[in-house]
Amino acid sequence: MTTDELKVGEVVRRRDLHSRFGGTPQGGISPSIRSQMVMAFVAERPGPDDFTGWGDDGVFHLSGAGMNGDQEMTRGNLALLRHKEQGRNVHLFHQLARRHDDQDEGKVYRHLGRFEVDAEQPYYVADAAGSDGMMRTVIVFRLRPVGATVPDGPRLPVTPLAETRITKAGDFRPAHVHRLPQESPAQVIQRLTVEYASHLNGLGREAVTAQVRVKGETSIARIDLLDVTENRLIEVRHSAARQAVRTAIGALMDYRRFFHPTPTLTLLVPAAPREDLLDLCGSLCIEVVWPNSDGGFTSTHD
């Protein structure tokens, strides 16, 4: 049989599909030598760590094969990447919900149509949790429709951008947040952010929140506070412990690359860190700020 017999929008059981066209019955990417096809299978509702779905760019983004550990460009992933030079057509299938009256155990898919890897950017790499819960790097293919396709299937919550974009919110002028007897880490961060933003406003400075969407990335980096007046990035942590300070340093160094002119860096914590941690921040020219007993803030740059 030939792939011409596979119609766009056709509903078929996966086992019948392999019986007709070959390929392996397991895995999300199934190359077939017999029919010169690469079949890609999409779950009915991909999980939150699965970068699979239609993007705002008109491209279908497909997570590569490999459930645990860093994904590699081998086997099914490599076959998909090189499908043009190997003379194979790519066909995409979206799993349908099982009907209550369906007693057959085979999974049912709708054929979304024929696709090809994007010539300019065939794939990108993202961070995601594996089936074991461990973070790893995954390959995300960018598939462009070839001819008629069915616009069904999942949609990406965030589509990677072609260029890095920084978005600033309006002036941060929040109401006072009362300190609770028992605060969660998130509540500590919220309170410190509100109090310090109010402090900056009182000094006549413009304090805003911001977010960075990096070119080719799906995650959004959120800047706790940006002192626009003095061009300062402010990272807020719920603790002055070493691990909290070290992760804040990493975030500040990461975010700084995307701002021009280069901003100065500030770490806001609920209490004075130990001397060694102050030395660590000082060696990196990072200002450390914490509340003091009179309602103001102490800074290592004072």
Give the CATH number for residue 287.
3.40.1350.10
- pLDDT tens sequence across 47-100: 777 889 999 999 999 999 998 899 999 999 999 999 999 999 999 999 998 765
Full DSSP string of 70-84: ---S-HHHHHHHTTT
Query: Which range of residues forms the domain containing residue 142?
Result: 3-149
**pLDDT at position 174:** 53
Res. 1 pLDDT band, cuts 50 70 90? very low
CATH number of the CATH domain containing 100: 2.30.280.10
- Are 139 and 234 part of one and the same domain? no
Angle (CA) 72 75 79, round 5° = 105
- pLDDT tens sequence across 162-209: 788 888 876 555 555 667 678 999 999 999 999 999 999 999 999 999
**pLDDT at position 47:** 78
- Are 130 and 89 part of one and the same domain? yes
Q: Is the pLDDT of residue 103 over 60?
A: no
Could you tell me which residues are beta bridge partners of residue 226?
Answer: 208, 233
Q: At a CB cut-off of 8 Å and minimum separation 6, what does 185 contact? A: 238, 239
d(CA 290, CA 270): 5
- Are 128 and 189 part of one and the same domain? no
Our count of domains for the chain comes to: 2
The reply to whether 156 falls in a domain is no
- Report the range of poorest mean pLDDT among 154-158, 266-270, 284-288: 154-158
- pLDDT tens sequence across 231-267: 999 999 999 999 999 999 999 999 999 999 999 999 9
The reply to whether 157 falls in a domain is no
- Are 68 and 28 part of one and the same domain? yes
**pLDDT at position 206:** 92
- Are 13 and 140 part of one and the same domain? yes
- pLDDT tens sequence across 49-64: 788 999 999 999 999 9
- Are 132 and 240 part of one and the same domain? no
What DSSP element (H or E) covers 195? helix 185-202
- pLDDT tens sequence across 31-46: 999 999 999 999 988 8
